Amino acid sequence: MESKTKILIAEDEFIIAMDIKKILEKLGYQVTSFVGKGADAISKAEIEKPDLVLMDIMLSGPISGIEAAEVIKNKFHIPVVYLTALTDDETLQKAKITEPGAYLLKPFDQRGLHSAIEIALYKYKMETQLKLKTKELEEEKIRTDELLHHILPGEIIKELNANGVITPRHYDSVTILFTDFQGFSQITNSLPPAELVKELNEIFSSFDVIIEKYELEKLKSIGDTYMICGGLPEEINNHAVRVISAAKEMINYLNERNKNSKVNWKLRAGINTGAVVAGIVGSDKFTYDVWGDAVNIASRMENSSDAGKINISGSTYNLVKDYFNCEYRGKLSVKGKGEVDMYYVKEEKA
């Protein structure tokens, strides 16, 4: 059985209130109660939670019908229909501020009362659905933005939202770090798949926290390879120092973790500094990536490193030699680039 629409009457003339009550009940509405003061209308609305309030603009007591309606609409979100014999512009302008569902001028008939109530209820229903849909869209946008922040740098998201596209950009100097795990094939064969993924997820999640601390950008993780970059999309001067500091902290984290782990994770790190082009690839699944010889050299630095070591190129060494003690390792032949100097990073200088 469909429940009746509940209506609260706020009218300070008793005879008029009784007439309205009879008409409403005849029309099939349920009258919860009727009051003659603005303060009583507010308290009854809070207690009874009616579907609509019929509100006389002029009520007894210090709180007018307009003031009571404003509280009821804003605090309890209940639609209001005004009853009034006043038609002067000043009163109507004050009433409009509260955005009533309808106005009903006294004297009124049954048809006018019925129409005003149904219009107000329909208007309130549509406004409620619109607010709900707007809220859902806002929540969806928040979820989308959160997902994008896990994929793309913040500055890139701003550009994407502002322009709808991302323009590829050249950077004169960035520092790139590649890491992987020595003996990863053996670890893969020794662990069940679920446990392997759990281990990698825990380690890479900790790496994410470290690079966020140094304000670096994670580019990708593929298998056991973890790639980050310093100096983009926002350019900074000390990106090489930050990347090395992050790499050292990653190694220290694993050394501590290995004390209580069944797997002895041994990290190799390779770093190079140089020019790159950065941009977005993909139309459905975005990836922020970098290209250039600097990327290839960084990868070669990592391949030529040893467990627990940070192998850097000569270009990176020139930027960090005043901050870290380094051990010269000799030269590495790189196709198209000739021979590249290599250094192991030792301790930080005092």
Summarize pLDDT for 248-274 with one digit per residue, the tens.
999 999 999 999 888 899 999 999 999
Domain that holds residue 331: 166-348
Is there a single domain that holds both residue 179 and residue 126? no
CA distances from 29 to 98, 222, 309, 346 (A): 24, 66, 80, 83
pLDDT at 349: 84
Residue range 287-303: average pLDDT?
88
Summarize pLDDT for 93-129 with one digit per residue, the tens.
655 655 666 677 777 788 888 888 888 888 888 888 8
CA distance 56 to 49: 18
Q: How many domains, in total, are found in the chain?
A: 2
Is there a single domain that holds both residue 181 and residue 238? yes
pLDDT at 281: 67
Look at residues 108, 131, 154 and tell me which one is the last residue of a structural domain.
131
pLDDT at 57: 84
Among 235, 270, 236, 239, smallest CA distance to 340 is for 270
pLDDT at 1: 47
Do residues 95 and 80 lie in contact, with contact meaning Cβ atoms separated by under 8 Å?
A: no
Q: Which of 166-180, 232-246, 274-288 has the lowest mean pLDDT?
A: 274-288
Which residue has tokens 């630095």?
301
Residue range 303-326: average pLDDT?
93
Q: How confident is the model at residue 83 (pLDDT cuts 50, 70, 90)?
A: confident
Its pTM stands at 0.60
Is there a single domain that holds both residue 117 and residue 253? no
Look at residues 78, 107, 131 and tell me which one is the last residue of a structural domain.
131
| Within-domain flag for 118 | yes
| Within-domain flag for 151 | no
State the chain's mean pLDDT as an integer.
86
Cβ neighbours for 22, distance < 8 A, ≥ 6 positions apart = none
| Within-domain flag for 211 | yes
| Within-domain flag for 90 | yes
Helix (H, G, I), strand (E, B) or coil at 104: strand
Residue range 153-171: average pLDDT?
68
Residue range 33-53: average pLDDT?
92
pLDDT at 158: 67
DSSP structure class, residue 37? B
Is there a single domain that holds both residue 15 and residue 88? yes
Summarize pLDDT for 217-231 with one digit per residue, the tens.
888 888 889 999 999
User: Is the model more confident about 334 or about 51?
Assistant: 51
| Within-domain flag for 209 | yes
| Within-domain flag for 175 | yes
CA distance 59 to 264: 80
Look at residues 107, 131, 155 and tell me which one is the last residue of a structural domain.
131
CATH number at residue 321: 3.30.70.1230
Do residues 169 and 288 lie in contact, with contact meaning Cβ atoms separated by under 8 Å?
A: no
| Within-domain flag for 146 | no
